[in-house]
Amino acid sequence: MFLNDRKFKILQAIVTDYIETAEPIGSRTIAKKYSLGISSATIRNEMSDLEDMGLIGQLHTSSGRVPSEKGYRFFVDSMMKSRALSVEEALFLQRMIIDNIGQAEYMIQETAKALSRLTKYPAIVSEPFLKKTTIKHIQLVPLDEKSLLLVLVTDTKTVKNQIVNLPSDTRSSGAPGYKALTKLSAVLNNHISGKSIRDISRDIIDKMLAEFGENAHVLMPVLGIIADMIKAEDDVRVYTSGIKNILAFPEFAEKSKAEAIFHALEDRESLFAILDQSKAHEGIQVIIGAENTLDLLKACSLIKANYTIDNGTGCIALIGPMRMDYTQAVSVLSGILQNMQQVIEALGLQAVKATT
C-alpha cells in the first residue's frame, strides 16, 4: 500500500499518539502537536482518506481517530524503526548474564522476568523443545502373578523402569513367566523400537496383539506406561512473568476481558498454542489482533521469536493490547536474544540462533 508523505506522517502521528495516550486524536491536536505544516482542514481530509483505506477508524462518531488493525500492521511493516537499548536496559540485561552465567536453566526463567520488567507486558518463555523422544529398547521382567517390571531405554540414553499392574479381572493365569516376557519384549522391540509414541499406529498395535496371543492382556497396560514415561521425558517447562501487568491497560479494564487473558496465560495448552512451537519461524514475529489463532487473543498483539540451543527450539513472547509499544517491545526482545546468546556461548553450548 502506498501513502503520500502527508498521509504517512498523519498515520504515524495517530498510531504514535494512541500508543502513548490510549485516547483518540483529532485533526486540531495533530496540527498543534506534530507541526506538519498543514492546516486542520487538510489533515481532516487526509484522515478521511486514511479511514476509507481502512487504516484508522472512530470509536464514536464525534471522537477523534484511532488506528485499526490494518493501520497497526502498516505501522509495524512500513513505519517502525529499530532502536538501540537504553543504557539502563543494557545494564539490566548484562547483570542478568552475570547472575546466570553458570545456570542455563535458571537463565530461561529469569529471561521471562527481565522481559516483563523492561516492557511492562506479560512475558512467556519456554525451555528448548528437543525432537520427540523415541524408544530404543524395552525389556519386560516378571515380578509376581499380577505385575511385571518394564525397563525402557530411550534415544536420549535415559533408562527408566516402572511396575506394570495387570488387570485384576483378566481370565489369564496371571503375569507371563520369564521366557514368555522375553519373547514379548522381542515383539515390542521389533515393532516400536526407533519410534515415538505418535508413530505407534492402530495397525502396529493390532499386529502386536496378534503376536502376543494368549498374553494380549499385557500389551495395553505396557503401552500406557510407555506413553506416560515418554511424555514425562518430552515435557517442556514454560515460564510466565508479569501476568498482572495486563490490568494496567484500559483495554482490559473490564473484568471479563482481563480474566480471558489470565486464563490463556495460566492454561498450559493455551500457552503452547500461543508459542506455537510446531512451526519454524525466522526472526521476530508481530501478530496483531485477528491474526492470532486463539480467540482469547483476538483483542491483543503478540510479539515472539524462536531460539535454538543445542538443537532444541524454545520461544519467547510478549502479549499486550493492539496499542502496545511495538518499537520498544521488538527492541527489548532483540536485546534479550543477543544477551541469551552471550550466556549460552559462555556456558560452552551451541549458541542461541534467532534472526532479529
Alpha-carbon Rg for the chain, nearest whole angstrom, is: 28
Q: Residues spanned by CATH 3.30.390 within the chain?
A: 135-234
| Assigned C-alpha cell, 186 | 522381542
* Lowest-pLDDT range of 96-100, 157-161, 259-263: 96-100
**In the chain, ranges of CATH 1.10.10.10 domains:** 5-79
User: Dihedrals φ, ψ of 142, to 5°?
Assistant: -70, 145
pLDDT in tens, 323-338: 999 999 999 999 888 8
pTM for this prediction: 0.71
Higher per-residue pLDDT: 313 or 206: 206
pLDDT at 355 over 60: no
pLDDT, averaged across the chain: 85
* Average pLDDT estimate for 287-295: 90
Query: Looking at the predicted structure, is the pLDDT value of residue 276 above 80?
Result: no
Look at domain 5-79 and name its CATH class: mainly alpha
119-178 confidence digits (pLDDT tens) = 999 999 988 776 677 899 999 999 988 889 999 998 877 788 999 988 765 445 567 888
Q: Homologous superfamily of 87-122+242-346 in CATH?
A: GAF domain (3.30.450.40)
Cα separation, 154 vs 133, in Å, equals: 7
HEC profile of the chain? CCCCHHHHHHHHHHHHHHHHHCCCECHHHHHHHHCCCCCHHHHHHHHHHHHHCCCEEECCCCCCEEECHHHHHHHHHHHCCCCCCCHHHHHHHHHHHHHCCCCHHHHHHHHHHHHHHHHCCCEEEECCECCCCCEEEEEEEEEECCEEEEEEEECCCCEEEEEEECCCCCCCCCCCCHHHHHHHHHHHHHHHCCCCHHHCCHHHHHHHHHHHHHHHHHHHHHHHHHHHHHHHHHCCCEEEECHHHHHHCHHHCCHHHHHHHHHHHHCHHHHHHHHCCCCCCCCEEEEEHHHCCCHHHCCEEEEEEEEEECCEEEEEEEEEECCCCHHHHHHHHHHHHHHHHHHHHHCCCCCCCCCC
Higher pLDDT among residues 75 and 263, named by residue:
75
Q: What is the pLDDT of residue 118?
A: 92
- Residue pair 93/332 in contact by the 8 Å Cβ criterion: no
Q: What is the pLDDT of residue 234?
A: 64
pLDDT digits (tens, 9 = 90+) for 38-76: 999 999 999 999 999 999 999 887 779 999 999 999 999
pLDDT of residue 210 exceeding 80:
yes
Provide the pLDDT for residue 171.
46
Residues of the chain with CATH 3.30.450.40: 87-122+242-346
For residue 202, the one-letter residue type is: R
Query: From CA 10, how far away is CA 5, in angstroms rounded?
Result: 9
Place of cell 503452547: 272
- Rounded to whole angstroms, the Cα distance separating 13 from 32 reads 11
User: What size, in residues, is the chain?
Assistant: 356
Percent of the chain with pLDDT over 90: 47
Q: Are 337 and 307 in contact (CB under 8 A)?
A: yes
Residue range 283-305: average pLDDT? 90
Provide the CATH topology of domain 135-234. Enolase-like; domain 1 (3.30.390)
Tell me the pairing of strands 123-126 and 238-241. Answer: antiparallel
- How crowded is residue 221: how many other Cβ atoms within 10 Å of its Cβ? 17
Phi, psi torsion values for 38, nearest 5 degrees: -135, 160
